[in-house]
């Protein structure tokens, strides 16, 4: 029987801000020995931007779990220039580092923030830096400050300026509303990309961070689409009988690995995006799905149950040869590779509970990272520090994050609906 | 099968296709064409285009069960599904019509793997019907994976209701 009603999805331009419930973050577990940092309020010099830049930076650093923030109420002074800092005041508060800064307007009307990172113990300025942006880009500027401070102290590139894509589903009187959203990595500035009464699944970022590929059932069947986040231009890439799923963009952006079952059962295919040509990579009666690219662009990691249970296999694209990688546990699926090219985040089941685990491709060591239940869809931040995943809180789907050493955790509870399938963007600048 | 288009519905479809500038007509077979389905929203915040093809429902001549359940991570038909499926096969053989088999999985396990599992279950039902003489061309298989639960709750009671194939 045909679908009786078919609704075309509502598309919103990225620029149009939507007032959906934003994610609120709660840190549930931090690092044992966090670095103590004080962020003095940024001196705004009478410029009204409607947001407290210093608090955004504080929240970013706190969320990383590697920092503890000196409360503003404890501060004895609010210096905005390194020259005005009395190091002794900050040492008494236990602050190891201090950020001071001030705002100004430049000729084209843009906001300029000048900020310094001070090492309290050594009594010296680590760096002085300047960022500029429009007055409605205050959050971007704040995240840039966080990135710069985080990188200086930890040696790891900050990922506070990145974004996450995710799917939410709301059920009301038996009717569904599925949404594909994009938000800042901290959950703020949620933007609606696609809304449909039919399922939306499997968002995947293009390597340049400008597009998303995903599965939408809006035609009454699953089909893969790509959509530009700025222009909202979209294109349907597949329209085959059966499964059209699990799109994954190649590291060079020219190809997409995906799953089609048009020949009888789920197989991995490669789509050349320029020519539109499909090539089949697997030939097996088992389920082959969830391809993800290795950094060399020559291998895929896939989930296959060809051995009896779902396990991770490495697939050589040129030869079609597969090699089983996981043996511990009765369910290992949905691989997501960390930027080090060797740590794999995956869905792992030892006996009956699904957790997120990390799997070292070199040593074969599997470490469970999560303690919640029904954990799925791991996605690693582009700096490899944290991974985000979907889990359940009561009967509701929420997003949660954990560091790759399992030392830091936070959750992003949604205000309404089920939130699932997070996909962490690449670095955007 | 009797098919009648409601005029307003048809007009809506045509209008939608013009507006959307895309071919969203369902295709029954595979196609390698890449279609440009871009919807330009311009300055308008949101555009809700409704498309409603009204197809008259063919009366079911059997009251046999239309939902068939499965074990976890399995796509084997259960013995208790046989009687109802035999009835459906008999009806479809005497009065052929297009049917849709929608395969589903419970929430455990990964979403794309569950899409594959839902399809495998629907294919198991299809194969049974085909073995009983029903033309495979009349049967469309669609998997919803774990995206459309029949029962809510994270317990075996709900999960067992969700591991299913619905004949429509």
Does A207 lie in the same domain as A310?
A: yes
A4 touches chain B (CB under 8 A): yes
The reply to whether A96 falls in a domain is yes
Q: Where are the beta strands (DSSP E) in A74-228?
A: 97-105, 111-119, 124-133, 163-172, 175-184, 191-196, 200-205, 211-216, 223-228
- Residue that terminates a domain, selected from A100, A128, A154: A154
Does A214 lie in the same domain as A83?
A: no
Stretch among A256-260, A272-276, B11-15 having the lowest mean pLDDT:
B11-15
Are the Cβ atoms of A289 and B30 closer than 8 angstroms?
Answer: no
Its sign, for the CA torsion A327, A282, A342, A30, is negative
| Chain B residue numbers touching A3 (CB-CB < 8 A) | 26, 53
Could you give the CA distance from residue A375 to residue A411 in angstroms, rounded to a whole number? 13
Query: Chain A: nearest CA to B14, how far in angstroms?
Result: 13
Q: How confident is the model at residue A33 (pLDDT cuts 50, 70, 90)?
A: confident
Domain with A328, as residue range(s), is 163-424
CATH of the domain at A77: 3.40.50.10070
CA A346 to chain centroid: 15
CATH class of the region B67-167: alpha beta
pLDDT, mean over chain A: 91
Could you give the CA distance from residue B88 to residue A293 in angstroms, rounded to a whole number? 44
Could you give the CA distance from residue A151 to residue A144 in angstroms, rounded to a whole number? 11
Residue of B nearest to A193 (CA): B46
Does A142 lie in the same domain as A213?
A: no
The packing angle between helices A138-154 and A53-63, to 10°, is 40
**Closest to B34 measured CA to CA, from A315, A256, A415:** A256
Sequence-distant (6+) residues with CB within 8 A of A95 are A36, A37, A38, A70, A120
| pLDDT, position A25 | 59
Does A198 lie in the same domain as A145?
A: no
| pLDDT, position B52 | 52
Instruction: Let me know how long chain B is.
Output: 168
* Residue in B26, B37, B57 nearest the CB of A234: B37
- 3-state DSSP assignment of residue A8: coil
Does A173 lie in the same domain as A81?
A: no
Token pair 């959203």 in the structure block, residue: A181
Whole-angstrom Cα Rg for chain B: 19
- 3-state DSSP assignment of residue A230: coil
Size of the A and B interface in Cβ pairs below 8 Å: 178
Are the Cβ atoms of B32 and A276 closer than 8 angstroms?
Answer: yes
A354 touches chain B (CB under 8 A): yes
- Residue that terminates a domain, selected from A90, A125, A154: A154
End-to-end Cα separation, chain B, in angstroms: 14
* Residue in B39, B45, B111 nearest the CB of A202: B111
| Residue pLDDT, tens place only, A123-136 | 999 999 999 999 99
Delimit the CATH 3.30.1330.60 region(s) of chain B.
67-167
Are the Cβ atoms of B24 and A16 closer than 8 angstroms?
Answer: no
ipTM value: 0.90
- pTM listed for this prediction: 0.85
- Residue that terminates a domain, selected from A154, A186, A207: A154
Sequence-distant (6+) residues with CB within 8 A of B105 are B114, B115, B117, B118, B121, B145, B146, B162, B163
The reply to whether A9 falls in a domain is no
A138 touches chain B (CB under 8 A): no
Number of domains present in the structure of chain A:
2
Pairing of strands B99-104, B139-145: parallel
Q: How confident is the model at residue A61 (pLDDT cuts 50, 70, 90)?
A: very high
Sequence-distant (6+) residues with CB within 8 A of A172 are none
> What are the counts of helices (DSSP H) followed by strands (DSSP E) for chain B?
4, 5
Higher pLDDT, B163 or B24: B163
Q: Which two tokens stand for residue A342?
A: 């060797």
Give me the half-sphere count of Cα atoms (radius 13 Å) on the Cβ side of residue A90: 29
Query: Chain A: nearest CA to B79, how far in angstroms?
Result: 23
A274 touches chain B (CB under 8 A): no
| Chain B residue numbers touching A235 (CB-CB < 8 A) | 34-38
Token pair 């084209």 in the structure block, residue: A108
- Residue A199 contacts residue B144 (beta carbons within 8 Å): yes
Does A285 lie in the same domain as A194?
A: yes
Are the Cβ atoms of A373 and B154 closer than 8 angstroms?
Answer: yes
Does A66 lie in the same domain as A185?
A: no
pLDDT over 70 percentage in chain A:
92
Does B44 score more than 50 pLDDT?
Answer: no
* Residue in B35, B57, B116 nearest the CB of A236: B35
Does B23 score more than 60 pLDDT?
Answer: no
The reply to whether A16 falls in a domain is no
The reply to whether A300 falls in a domain is yes
How buried is residue B90: exposed, middle or buried, by Cβ count under 10 Å (0-12/13-18/19+)?
middle
């Amino acid at each position: 029987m045909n679908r009786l009603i078919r609704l075309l999805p509502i598309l919103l331009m990225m620029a149009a801000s939507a007032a959906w419930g934003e994610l609120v973050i709660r840190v549930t577990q931090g690092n044992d020995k966090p670095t103590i940092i004080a962020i003095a309020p940024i001196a705004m010099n009478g410029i009204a931007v409607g947001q407290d830049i210093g608090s955004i930076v504080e929240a970013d650093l706190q969320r990383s779990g590697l920092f503890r923030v000196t409360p503003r109420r404890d501060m004895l002074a609010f210096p905005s220039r390194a020259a005005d800092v009395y190091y002794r005041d900050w040492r008494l508060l236990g602050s190891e580092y201090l950020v001071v800064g001030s705002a100004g307007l430049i000729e084209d009307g843009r906001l300029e923030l000048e900020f310094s990172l001070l090492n309290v113990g050594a009594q010296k300025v680590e760096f002085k830096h300047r960022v500029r942006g429009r007055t409605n880009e205050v959050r971007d500027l704040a995240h840039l400050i966080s990135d710069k401070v985080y990188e200086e102290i930890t040696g790891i590139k900050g990922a506070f300026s990145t974004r996450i894509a995710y799917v939410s589903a709301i059920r009301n009187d038996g009717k569904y509303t599925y949404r594909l959203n994009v938000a800042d990595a901290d959950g703020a500035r949620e933007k609606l990309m696609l809304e449909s009464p039919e399922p939306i699944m499997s968002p995947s970022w293009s390597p340049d961070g400008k597009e998303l590929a995903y599965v939408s059932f809006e035609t009454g069947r699953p089909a893969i689409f790509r959509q530009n986040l700025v222009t909202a231009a979209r294109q349907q890439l597949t329209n085959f009988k059966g499964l059209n799923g699990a799109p994954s963009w190649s590291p060079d952006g020219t190809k997409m690995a995906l799953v089609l079952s048009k020949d009888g059962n789920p197989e991995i295919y490669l789509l050349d995006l320029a020519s539109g040509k499909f090539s089949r990579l697997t030939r097996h009666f088992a389920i082959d799905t969830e391809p993800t690219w290795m950094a060399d662009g020559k291998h895929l990691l896939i989930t296959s149950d060809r051995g009896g249970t779902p396990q991770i296999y490495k697939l050589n694209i040129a030869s079609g040869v597969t090699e089983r990688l996981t043996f511990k546990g009765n369910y290992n699926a949905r691989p997501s590779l960390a930027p080090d090219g060797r740590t794999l985040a995956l869905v792992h089941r030892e006996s009956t509970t699904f957790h997120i685990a990390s799997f070292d491709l070199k040593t074969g060591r599997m470490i469970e990272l999560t303690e919640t239940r029904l954990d799925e869809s791991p996605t690693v931040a582009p700096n490899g520090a944290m991974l985000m995943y979907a889990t359940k809180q009561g009967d509701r789907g929420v997003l949660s994050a954990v560091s790759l050493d399992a030392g830091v955790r936070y959750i992003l509870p949604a205000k309404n609906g089920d939130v699932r399938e997070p996909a962490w963007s690449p670095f955007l600048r | 099968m009797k098919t009648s288009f409601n005029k307003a519905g048809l007009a809506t479809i045509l209008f939608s296709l013009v507006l959307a500038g895309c071919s969203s007509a369902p295709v029954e077979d595979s196609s390698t064409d890449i279609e440009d389905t871009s919807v330009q929203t311009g300055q308008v915040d949101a555009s809700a285009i409704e498309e409603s093809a009204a197809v008259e429902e063919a009366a079911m001549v059997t009251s046999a069960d239309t939902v068939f359940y499965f074990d976890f991570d399995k796509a084997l038909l259960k013995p208790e599904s046989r009687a109802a499926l035999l009835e459906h096969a008999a009806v479809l053989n005497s009065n052929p019509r297009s049917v849709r088999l929608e395969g589903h999985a419970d929430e455990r396990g990964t979403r794309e793997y569950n899409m594959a599992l839902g399809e495998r279950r629907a294919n198991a039902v299809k194969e049974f019907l085909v073995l009983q003489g029903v033309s495979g061309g009349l049967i469309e298989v669609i998997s919803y994976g774990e995206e459309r639960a029949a029962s809510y709750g994270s317990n075996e009671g709900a999960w067992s209701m969700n591991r299913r194939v619905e004949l429509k």
